[in-house]
A and B are shown apart, each in its own frame.
Chain A
Amino acid sequence: MPEQPIPEQDPITSKSYAAHYVLAIVILIATLFWALWDEAWGQRPWKAFQEQWKTRYSAFLSAATSTSATSEKGVEKNPEYAALNATWKQARDDSAAQAQEARREVDDASARLLAVQSVFTDRRAYVNALSYEIETSTSPSSKASKQKELADYKKEQATVEFPDGSKKQFDFPHLEETYNEIRDERTQRSLELGDVLKPVTAARAKMDEYISDHMVDLTPQQIEGLKKKTADWDPAIVQINVAEANIVDRCESCHMGAREPLKISAAAMMAKGEKKPDEYANSFVSHPEPDLLSIHDPDKFGCSPCHQGNGRATTSVEKAHGNYEHWLWPLYPKENSQAGCQSCHAADMVLVSGDMQWHTINDGKDLFRQKGCMGCHRYEGYDKEPEDLNSIGQQIKQIETQKKSNLKQTAYLMKQADAAESNDEANRLNGQAVDLRVANTKLDGRLQQLDYQSHSLMQDTKKVGPNLKDVRLKLNKNWIPVWLKKPTDFRPTTKMPNFRLTDHQIQAISAYIWQSAFTDPLPKAKSGNAAHGQELFETRGCLACHSIGEGDQLQGGVFAANLTRVGEKANYDYLVRWIHNARERTRPYCPYEKKDIGPEDYAKKGLPYQFDLDHSQCPNDGHELQVQNMTVMPSLRLTPEDAEDIATYLMTQKKQEPSSYVEAAFMDDPSLKAEGKRWVQHFGCSGCHEISGMEDEGRIGTELTYEGSKPIERLDFALFTEVAQRGGKDAEPIKNKEDLARLPDGPAAEPWYNLKGFFEHKLAEPNIYDQGKLKSEIDASRMPNLHLTREQVLDLTTFLMGSAETSLPASYQYKPGDARHDIQDGWWVIKKYNCMGCHQLIPGQTTILMGLKQYQDVQEQLPPKLLTEGARVDPEWLRKFLSNPALNTTDTNRNGVRPYLKVRMPTFSFSDNELRKLVRFFQALSQQPLPYIPEEVPTLTAKETDMARSLFSSSAAPCLKCHATGDPNHDKIATAPNFLLAKERLKPDWVVRWITDPQAVSPGTSMPSGLFKQQNTQWVFAGPTPPSFAGYDKDHRKLLVDYIFQLTAEEQRRVASAMPHAKAAVQPKVNRRQAATETRPAAVGGSR
């Protein structure tokens, strides 16, 4: 087509581009408008949110106004309010005439003042200007002339026209005087007016105060204020900007209701006619935890430090929440929101705000320890005793070097001094030498402290699992391989995870464990009474940690092992020893020599084979030995017979006979030992167990302290990367039903390519990322299946997600230096020993024992609540009590304070370190200062003593009816501690609070409230008082407390015998003797 038909007109010059231009320009303008729209609305979706907010919140407030008005009316109906109202009206009427007069006077004075002021200020300005010229003029002549001018001016008369029409002439000094006079007069009159109105204002304030005190919700006026604020709102970015921490959070641009004073629910924010809360309604709700916000003021903390997300972004929900590929800190999902606590509170074992426990994160932290995660994974703060021991060892070395060099330097200085040229020089050098010797003494002191520290740390080092050096003494040999196959088959609630071992691995591992264990002889124990054993087991408190029964029958705590089938695996003799004192070790271990020390080592040095906390030096080299089993199981101070009874009972707990286990001869095969050792090392068994030859093995897992800040690319989703990113039908790789049930959100349907998804899947089925991969035994994932529940996976996931490095400045970290630090430290110990299995430490916290059937009717048999323990007890006494709860060195088979309780406070053998931490913890928890300086208890006069005694023995408050007296007959029925302990144990101020309202201190206590009542300002006894009380105007409570603190055994006996007590009166002699020697041969249920 070289030629085309030639058109008439030249197309180049004749063609019009008008249409093109019109089209192009229309599109261009449209694009421009689009850009403008995009800038104003498209990029600012929060504007739509705020519009919705205005309409919906206004509607909500209108609804709230009416309820508020009703409730205000309700309050106003109250006679108290009516009285206040009447007072107010009365005062108003009374002062009306006077107030009007005073007001008139003030107005009059003001008017006169105004009249004078206008003239005065004008003239004063001129005087000031002239004065300035005089001050600054340089020539004397002009100065003089100006001064004259000033004097003349001041003499000039000025006319003031007063409001009443009169005119007066003043020269300047008089004018000034008049002005000041009127001003003072007005001030005076105003004060008078104030005085007149004072009762009225006061009455009014009382009324308002009454309303706001008695209104649960906001008052209608307050709501009106909110309504106006909402109506006047212009769409604008709402942001929190904290430059110090680089926080810019605009979350409240959409979440407008987060900090509103009213509680806003999504349902309340639905648009009219909708059935489900939409995106808007959900975003307008109040912050669910206003108390948390009051601690963490959002104006200082912003939102993102806790919740994460992209605080700056406002262009879309997705962007603002940081839920896009390139934002490193996406919003924590709602169920994991407590992960945010971890960014500042990583050092806290337990997070409590007010009485609120943060269960998800607390349980996560607790599980990490309880399940023994730190056996394989280092995590800052967990199980740090070995590390501390190490660092103390280094410090000791350093100090010793320092000492040596000091000595050398001293010798050198003295030598120099001897040869010095002048006496001054010699004295100076000698002085230096002396200083160095003193320095060495100080270092000695430090060394001693470090020695104590390492003794403590050695004592504090615990293992999650049992000591496997004792397996030969302890276990049914044939049971071991069966156990290793799948621990949950034998004991569904065990902590021991499932390592997915092959049969060969099991054989090798059991062979190594068996062959490397101790073969020392065990003392033979007599067989006991199983029925009595069962009673003891159920009442002594074993169930606070241990459980018995399976499935629905399960009773007790999961802190320690479930003992349902313990009879199948245990060796009776060992069990007796264990129950009697679990800490009793077969052989001590010397970490320096890295060997277990036997009698032969002691014999070499001619020492007796004795090792305990007081004899913890290695006979070979004097280093600190591990003399205890590294278990948290305490001693219940049982008699050997009781221990035998319990053991006998436990040996009956079995489903099959121990002899029915298949003979495992391979365990004695020495050829398996070497391979077994490799596998034991490979699986990191020594992270949780003490195993011969592996005391110093390191952890085999990755450190998890900052696991939550790992970039997603560093987490290996292996073959599931694609499905995790894509979501959809086959997004869930876990097929195993049991494991699937562990996923908090059920099988994944959405994409789960994020930290949450990774952790949840890993925890639900630890080898999930091996699935489909061809891996050798060595390469396969070693992480065992912890058989967690759905909640536990959620808790741990939350914990791990929160374990992130934070970009917040150090000042945001919760690292308190004061008593709060003691609380932080204490929780680690409290959790370590499961104190909360028996004791309530936080209001609302339930203990394991509380949930047990046998306590439902006899709650007074529960261990005491420790809600105000620090305020209650003397810290020094507490320390003594904690180290020996029997409060007695010889008769230990009892409770020191509450002999009437069947459940027993065990002896935990706390180290000095832990004792210190615990005492400080309880004191700090009750805001008590340390050291404790006891309040001076005044000595009562004879009359006062008589009066107090009458209260003490009053039939209206028969104290000794319930409180123990030391008389065994009486104490059988006693349900409260002996008063004789009070002096040493209690703090008087607390006792006053206690007897005033025991229910407020320890809810549910047997001690009744209402013993005292308030009469005017005086607290008096609620029951009848003898005539001697007439005219006594002091506090009756105080009187009784002072008496109790002065109570002697003698006095108590006297009172007790005077009491109408049938049996106590019969044999007073015997009782007296027994009380005096403080022995209690027949404690409650203690013997057979």
Chain B
Amino acid sequence: MDWRQLWEICSAPDNVPIVGLIPLLAFFIYLAWKQAHANDQLIAQLEADPAMAKTHHRKTWPFKPGWQKEVHVWPFLLRIEFLAAIIVTIILMVWSISLNAPLEEPANPNLTMNPAKAPWYFLGLQEMLVYFDPWIAGVVMPTMIIVGLMVIPYVDTNPLGSGYYTWKQRKFSISTFLFGFVILWVAMIIIGTFIRGPGWQWFWPGQTWDHNRLIYEVNRDLPDIFGITSNAAKAIFGAIVVGGYYLIGGGLVYSLFRRRMGKDFQRMSLLQFSMVQFLLLTMVALPLKMGLRLLWHIKYVWITPWFNV
């Protein structure tokens, strides 16, 4: 265990935000889960007791008749906002006094940094470069993420869970988001920061980042495994595999929705549903492709003269 190496990575000034992000994220997930759990219990209670549902104020926080239902922003909200501002200022100042912003050697195009890393918040995308060609990882993927995020309100037809934390009422959407945010985005960043060393090679935490490490790794393409040699056949084969994935996957999503989320499904238009289907499958394709690469050393699935997937 090379503690010095681990410390060096964690204490690199630009990595400190990520080190901070991890506990913060854990804390807020816990906070959200706690409230969601309480709300879910309340919902269960109210579902079971319709009479109570009629009279209850429907929040987990204590409430007594006669208490103001609305409070003045001044001072009740603003005092908290100001307090938050002060705390943020303190954190920022302490951070700035104690930790210097990095400044390395003057830019030198002739001396490549190893590893050359993007800013930490883009490391997820850089990590994707291992599994996908740059045009997917660098262009298509970010676009899909933005588009995907933007369509969320329009495809989420579940009217429940608006304005309060809940798990039971929004199992699918929350788990999908958690999957996308925590697993695909944050975890990728953590891998990119802490795990990827010189040569973008995989170093376990505490493993020494040896600049001379060599790894024997032969990556094959999926068509090769099936002994397909001709270019046209490869293109067709790939198209079939990718198409097949979306077809079969689409079927699975359909059956899942129909069985488990009947109501939501009914509320959805065809366009909404196919959108969800496509984005969901694309998102799931990501870890699948990673698995292919990491476990079976498969580089491309679909090879065409113009692009590879």
A, B from the same assembly = yes
**Is A605 an interface residue, CB under 8 A from the partner?**
no
A2 contacts which chain B residues (CB < 8 A)?
38, 41-42, 45, 60
Contact status B93-A726, CB under 8 Å? no
Compute how far the CA of A5 lies from the CA of B64 in the bound complex, rounded to whole angstroms: 11
**Is B263 an interface residue, CB under 8 A from the partner?**
no
Chain B nearest Cβ from A728, distance in angstroms: 9
Cross-chain contact of B105 among A6, A326, A726 (Cβ < 8 A): A326
Q: B residues within 8 Å of A by Cβ?
A: 4, 38, 41-42, 45, 60, 62-64, 67-68, 71, 76, 79-80, 83, 86-87, 89-90, 93-94, 97, 103-106, 108, 111, 114, 208, 210-212
B71 contacts which chain A residues (CB < 8 A)?
12-13
Contact status B114-A721, CB under 8 Å? no
**Is A7 an interface residue, CB under 8 A from the partner?**
yes
Provided the pairs A3-B62, A35-B97 are in contact, do residues A726 and B4 lie with their beta carbons within 8 angstroms?
Answer: yes
Cross-chain contact of A326 among B42, B67, B103, B212 (Cβ < 8 A): B103
B42 contacts which chain A residues (CB < 8 A)?
2
Compute how far the CA of A13 lies from the CA of B87 in the bound complex, rounded to whole angstroms: 22
Q: Which residue of chain A lies nearest to B211 when distances are taken between CB atoms in the complex? A: A721
Q: Which residue of chain A lies nearest to B75 when distances are taken between CB atoms in the complex? A: A17
Produce 1/0 per residue, A870-909, CB < 8 A to B: 0000000000000000000000000000000000000000
**Is A439 an interface residue, CB under 8 A from the partner?**
no
Contact status A32-B38, CB under 8 Å? no
> Which stretch in A20-28, A680-688, A816-824 binds the other chain?
A20-28
Cross-chain contact of B80 among A11, A17, A32 (Cβ < 8 A): A17
Q: Which of A1-46 contact B (CB under 8 A)?
A: 1-7, 10-13, 17, 20-21, 24-25, 27-28, 31-32, 34-35, 38, 42
Q: Which residue of chain A lies nearest to B108 when distances are taken between CB atoms in the complex? A: A711
Apart from A35-B97, A721-B210, what 6 extra A-B contacts exist at CB < 8 Å?
A10-B67, A12-B68, A13-B68, A24-B87, A328-B106, A711-B111
A38 contacts which chain B residues (CB < 8 A)?
97
Compute how far the CA of A38 lies from the CA of B97 in the bound complex, rounded to whole angstroms: 7
A191 contacts which chain B residues (CB < 8 A)?
none
**Is A718 an interface residue, CB under 8 A from the partner?**
yes
A11 contacts which chain B residues (CB < 8 A)?
62
B79 contacts which chain A residues (CB < 8 A)?
17, 21
**Is A722 an interface residue, CB under 8 A from the partner?**
yes
Q: Which residue of chain A lies nearest to B43 when distances are taken between CB atoms in the complex? A: A2
A328 contacts which chain B residues (CB < 8 A)?
105-106
Cross-chain contact of B62 among A4, A24, A719 (Cβ < 8 A): A4
**Is A552 an interface residue, CB under 8 A from the partner?**
no
The 10 lowest CB-CB distance pairs between A and B, nearest first, are A2-B42, A326-B104, A6-B62, A10-B67, A24-B86, A31-B93, A2-B41, A38-B97, A326-B105, A711-B111
Chain A nearest Cβ from B268, distance in angstroms: 32
Contact status A31-B90, CB under 8 Å? yes
Produce 1/0 per residue, A964-984, CB < 8 A to B: 000000000000000000000
Compute how far the CA of A1 lies from the CA of B71 in the bound complex, rounded to whole angstroms: 25
B108 contacts which chain A residues (CB < 8 A)?
711
Contact status B211-A21, CB under 8 Å? no
**Is A713 an interface residue, CB under 8 A from the partner?**
yes
Provided the pairs A17-B80, A722-B208 are in contact, do residues A27 and B90 lie with their beta carbons within 8 angstroms?
Answer: yes
Contact status B83-A713, CB under 8 Å? no
Chain B nearest Cβ from A754, distance in angstroms: 14
Compute how far the CA of A11 lies from the CA of B64 in the bound complex, rounded to whole angstroms: 11
Enumerate 30 A-B pairs (CB-CB under 8 Å) in ascending A order. A1-B38, A1-B41, A2-B60, A3-B60, A5-B62, A6-B62, A7-B62, A11-B62, A12-B67, A12-B71, A24-B83, A24-B87, A25-B86, A27-B90, A31-B89, A31-B90, A31-B94, A31-B97, A32-B93, A34-B93, A34-B97, A35-B97, A38-B97, A325-B104, A326-B103, A326-B105, A327-B105, A711-B105, A719-B212, A721-B211
A719 contacts which chain B residues (CB < 8 A)?
212
Produce 1/0 per residue, A920-954, CB < 8 A to B: 00000000000000000000000000000000000
A17 contacts which chain B residues (CB < 8 A)?
79-80, 83
Compute how far the CA of A588 lies from the CA of B288 in the bound complex, rounded to whole angstroms: 76
Compute how far the CA of A711 lies from the CA of B113 in the bound complex, rounded to whole angstroms: 11
Compute how far the CA of A713 lies from the CA of B90 in the bound complex, rounded to whole angstroms: 39
Compute how far the CA of A3 lies from the CA of B60 in the bound complex, rounded to whole angstroms: 6
Q: Which residue of chain B lies nearest to A16 when distances are taken between CB atoms in the complex? A: B79
Chain B nearest Cβ from A744, distance in angstroms: 27
Contact status B64-A10, CB under 8 Å? yes
A711 contacts which chain B residues (CB < 8 A)?
105, 108, 111
Provided the pairs A2-B38, A3-B62, A20-B83 are in contact, do residues A28 and B45 lie with their beta carbons within 8 angstroms?
Answer: no
Compute how far the CA of A944 lies from the CA of B251 in the bound complex, rounded to whole angstroms: 131
Q: Which of A284-329 contact B (CB under 8 A)?
A: 325-328
A32 contacts which chain B residues (CB < 8 A)?
93
Chain A nearest Cβ from B147, distance in angstroms: 39
Cross-chain contact of A10 among B68, B86, B94, B210 (Cβ < 8 A): B68
Chain B nearest Cβ from A126, distance in angstroms: 68
A13 contacts which chain B residues (CB < 8 A)?
67-68, 71, 76
Contact status B90-A24, CB under 8 Å? yes
Chain B nearest Cβ from A173, distance in angstroms: 75
B45 contacts which chain A residues (CB < 8 A)?
2
Contact status A713-B114, CB under 8 Å? yes
Compute how far the CA of A600 lies from the CA of B201 in the bound complex, rounded to whole angstroms: 67
Produce 1/0 per residue, A1057-1078, CB < 8 A to B: 0000000000000000000000
Chain B nearest Cβ from A737, distance in angstroms: 27
B93 contacts which chain A residues (CB < 8 A)?
31-32, 34-35
Contact status A718-B67, CB under 8 Å? no
Interface centre among B38, B68, B212 (most CB of A within 10 A): B212
B60 contacts which chain A residues (CB < 8 A)?
1-3
Chain A nearest Cβ from B128, distance in angstroms: 27
Chain A nearest Cβ from B47, distance in angstroms: 12
Contact status A721-B212, CB under 8 Å? yes
Produce 1/0 per residue, A316-346, CB < 8 A to B: 0000000001111000000000000000000
A722 contacts which chain B residues (CB < 8 A)?
208, 210
B38 contacts which chain A residues (CB < 8 A)?
1-2
Interface centre among A20, A31, A719 (most CB of B within 10 A): A31
A726 contacts which chain B residues (CB < 8 A)?
4
Contact status B212-A718, CB under 8 Å? yes
Compute how far the CA of A5 lies from the CA of B62 in the bound complex, rounded to whole angstroms: 7
Q: Which residue of chain A lies nearest to B41 when distances are taken between CB atoms in the complex? A: A2
A713 contacts which chain B residues (CB < 8 A)?
111, 114
Chain A nearest Cβ from B36, distance in angstroms: 13
A3 contacts which chain B residues (CB < 8 A)?
60, 62
Compute how far the CA of A1035 lies from the CA of B105 in the bound complex, rounded to whole angstroms: 69
Q: Which residue of chain B lies nearest to A325 when distances are taken between CB atoms in the complex? A: B104
Compute how far the CA of A20 lies from the CA of B106 in the bound complex, rounded to whole angstroms: 45
Q: Which residue of chain B lies nearest to A716 when distances are taken between CB atoms in the complex? A: B212
Chain A nearest Cβ from B57, distance in angstroms: 10
Contact status A28-B210, CB under 8 Å? no
B41 contacts which chain A residues (CB < 8 A)?
1-2
B76 contacts which chain A residues (CB < 8 A)?
12-13
Interface centre among A2, A7, A38 (most CB of B within 10 A): A2
Interface centre among B41, B71, B80, B97 (most CB of A within 10 A): B97
Compute how far the CA of A1 lies from the CA of B79 in the bound complex, rounded to whole angstroms: 29
A1 contacts which chain B residues (CB < 8 A)?
38, 41, 60
Compute how far the CA of A28 lies from the CA of B212 in the bound complex, rounded to whole angstroms: 48
B105 contacts which chain A residues (CB < 8 A)?
326-328, 711
Chain A nearest Cβ from B94, distance in angstroms: 6
A7 contacts which chain B residues (CB < 8 A)?
62
Q: Which of A690-741 contact B (CB under 8 A)?
A: 711, 713-714, 718-719, 721-722, 726
A27 contacts which chain B residues (CB < 8 A)?
90
Interface centre among A7, A17, A325 (most CB of B within 10 A): A17
Chain A nearest Cβ from B77, distance in angstroms: 10
Compute how far the CA of A1036 lies from the CA of B87 in the bound complex, rounded to whole angstroms: 96
Q: Which residue of chain B lies nearest to A31 when distances are taken between CB atoms in the complex? A: B93
Q: Which residue of chain B lies nearest to A718 when distances are taken between CB atoms in the complex? A: B212
Chain B nearest Cβ from A512, distance in angstroms: 35
